[in-house]
Amino acid sequence: MIIGSDPRANRLTDEEKSEIQQIFSEEIVPKLKKLDARLGTIGCEFAGPQYTNWMIQFRSRGEEFEIVDFEYDEMGAGMDLDL
């Protein structure tokens, strides 16, 4: 453990997860459908700069998508889905 680090700093609240889920559903899912995505990992910078180091793992579920995990990654980088 790094001395002086706050273990809560790398955790999302339920409210933050809900905010990311809502933006994911409204803005990202349509792009994933266009790309015929089924599962993957993407950065959460789409939800705002405060989530730049957060990644989500997602998978398709019928016609919809769900977030299956949130992961903090200091080295994580997003990708533009507007291809």
pLDDT in tens, 10-62: 899 999 999 999 999 999 999 999 999 999 999 999 999 999 999 999 999 98
Strand, helix or coil for residue 79: coil
Look at residue 2 in the predicted model and tell me its pLDDT: 41
> Which of 44, 48, 53 lies closest to 9, judged by CA?
53
Confidence of residue 4 (pLDDT cuts 50, 70, 90): very low
C-alpha span between 26 and 75 (Å, rounded): 26
The pLDDT of residue 8 is above 70? no
Please give the model's pTM, rounded to 2 decimal places. Answer: 0.81
C-alpha span between 45 and 42 (Å, rounded): 9
Task: Give the number of other Cβ atoms within 10 Å of residue 49's Cβ.
Answer: 6
